[in-house]
Amino acid sequence: MKGWRRSHRTDKEQVAAEHRVRHERPLMTSNTSAPALWPTPKELLWQPGGLQIGASPASPHPLARLTGGTDSYAAEALSRRLAVPGSGARADAVPVVLSVDPALDVGSALRIDRRVEADRLTVSREEMQEAKLAELSQFVAEVQPAFMYVHDIDAGTFADSRHAWGVRCAECRRRWPSDEMTSPDGQAGAVAAWFRKLRQRLSAVSVAEGYCPGDDLVCVFTSPVYTHRHEGGQPEVWEQEVAYFRLLSSLVGPLRGGQFGLREQLLHPGGEARIAQLRRALDEVGNGHGLHVFSFGGGDNYQTDDLVNVLGALAHLYRGAESVSLCNGGVHEEPVQLMNADFLWSGAAQGYAEEVAGPEGAETLFGAIAHGHRRPPTVFEEGGILHRACRRLWGDSAGGQLYRAYLSGGDGRHGPVSRVWWAVTRDVRRLKGDPVEHGWTWEDLDGRWTRRLAATEEALRHVRAANKAREDPDLRWLAHCLEVGRRFAEAVVAAIRYRLAGSADTRCRLTRILDELEAYVAAQKRQPVDLLGGDPGCWAETVALLRAAALSG
């Protein structure tokens, strides 16, 4: 990005910061997933004025535990957000935006649905806007970001966004009386006013020499309306969304450093890429606004936890977007990061990209990639793109071991367990009886987890061998996470077999494995990573939930 400069850190500080980031949770996760480590109920005091952080006078402040005792910007921000007035606030769904009236249940703030009553949505309260603008201005001044993702109301489809607009407050109705989405007096007008105000305020933030928000900061405005390719009423609804963004861009007016964020879109019935269609519409308006695509297609701890997801092979379908987030990896997928960079630079990695045969073919291919079934030889064969990426990162010997580790399991559905979040927590929900997916049996699940356990053991052997060949803190961490994953996978297999057999022997084995897992997790030394604790923040909690769910059967 023109004019962007690295923050003013020493090399040692930069290395330490990057090491902490590697130990966080995947970079892109569902914003409606419950965090792993909010303060526990015993650490929350419910008061008439709202939810307050606290414990007892003699006990440490929970924020000190979550942030390593530092009085950081993040700790201050969390404290403000947890002190939201109103009844029914929940500690596991804290709003990070200001677009919902504080009288509304905090748990509903992140997702507008049809249970929301009238007069609850507001985009007109000046004091709420000023509070958020002050917080964001402080963040920009202190962090000096190059890229800021602003996600206000989680109403992605056109239908959900229309419903949300229909429950706006009286003042919003006075200022924007139209119930239409695509109207200057409707939602487009209200959203445009907020986007323009936000961008102008952040551009004016005064910071140290070497960083200028007006030149160096890009704001991605996401929602209401970030689209979903499976929304009912296609293709007409997409054409309505294009018209909405065309008007929104016109109403925002000329603005530097502004992009509209939307989910992945593939091909229109005529065969043209939809992102290219929307790009053309914005170009016709001519106000200089860009597009940002955030693409969820597996490897995202949302649909699958595939360690080598090739979603980037479809990046050429997003031509016309100024920026793209391929949400297909986290802290253990360095080779995928290299491949993504290649795919996003030119639309192909070392000359390779997926060929798409029409709209239906694009959907079929996207689904195969998302579920970990697509393993193109150009990427996965020996000497292929994955193998070369591993050797580039870790050298011939260690890289060869890592290449074989990433191949463990044979496909994305049966691969190694390197994270507990989603991989294990999803099936804890299944053991509890929550609806997770259709068309499965306990016997099928036993087979799947038995394969995942074997894949984790195989990957662990290769990673340990790689770490002997090349001492590397990232490889040590990956080996540690695979060991944790192996123990959790063993516990899940034991839980499923107890559910199938129900015998005293299977219960005894399950209890022993859970006891050993609990002791192992409790013995781990933890260091501050982020407010949620990273993936390790959910380990102890998941052991307890797994025990309760598995032994109840």
pLDDT tens for 193-241 read: 999 999 999 999 998 788 999 999 999 999 899 999 999 999 999 999 9
- Do residues 98 and 128 touch, judged by C-beta distance below 8 A? yes
Other residues' Cβ atoms within 10 Å of the Cβ of residue 255: 17
Which pLDDT does position 19 carry in this prediction?
Answer: 35
Which pLDDT does position 209 carry in this prediction?
Answer: 82
Q: How far apart are CA 482 and CA 488, in angstroms?
A: 10
Token pair for residue 275?
Answer: 């992102």
Torsion, CA 125, CA 127, CA 128, CA 131, rounded to 10: 160
- Rounded average pLDDT over 114-123: 61
pLDDT tens for 56-112 read: 333 333 333 333 333 344 444 444 333 333 222 222 222 222 233 333 332 233 333
- The more confident residue out of 419 and 111 is 419
The tokens 């080779």 sit on which residue? Answer: 335
Does a structural domain hold residue 465? yes
Other residues' Cβ atoms within 10 Å of the Cβ of residue 169: 18
Which pLDDT does position 117 carry in this prediction?
Answer: 52
Does a structural domain hold residue 483? yes
Does a structural domain hold residue 25? no
pLDDT tens for 5-57 read: 333 333 334 333 333 333 333 322 222 222 222 222 222 222 222 222 232 33
Does a structural domain hold residue 431? yes
CA angle 348, 350, 353 (to 5 degrees): 30
Q: Which one-letter DSSP state was computed for residue 421?
A: T
Which pLDDT does position 141 carry in this prediction?
Answer: 95
List Cβ neighbours of 256 (8 Å cut-off, separation of 6 or more).
203, 214, 215, 288
| Residue 547 pLDDT exceeds 60 | yes
Does a structural domain hold residue 52? no
CA angle 218, 265, 198 (to 5 degrees): 25
Which pLDDT does position 152 carry in this prediction?
Answer: 82
SS3 content of the chain, % helix, strand, coil (to 5): 50, 5, 40
- Name beta bridge partners: 45: 52
Does a structural domain hold residue 104? no
- Rounded average pLDDT over 107-128: 59
Does a structural domain hold residue 453? yes
pTM: 0.78
- Rounded average pLDDT over 131-157: 93
- Strands 50-53, 258-263: pairing is unpaired
Measured between alpha carbons, how far is residue 119 from residues 163, 172, 174, 424 in Å?
A: 12, 9, 12, 40
Q: Which is it for the CA torsion 507, 511, 512, 514, positive or negative?
A: positive
List Cβ neighbours of 364 (8 Å cut-off, separation of 6 or more).
none
- The more confident residue out of 113 and 333 is 333
Q: How far apart are CA 311 and CA 293, in angstroms?
A: 13
Q: How confident is the model at residue 428 (pLDDT cuts 50, 70, 90)?
A: very high
Q: Show the domain range for 512.
A: 395-551
The total number of structural domains in the chain stands at 1
Which pLDDT does position 302 carry in this prediction?
Answer: 84
Other residues' Cβ atoms within 10 Å of the Cβ of residue 258: 23
| Residue 358 pLDDT exceeds 50 | yes
Does an H or E element contain 326, and which?
A: strand 323-326
pLDDT tens for 490-507 read: 999 999 999 999 999 999
Q: How far apart are CA 165 and CA 280, in angstroms?
A: 27
Does a structural domain hold residue 413? yes
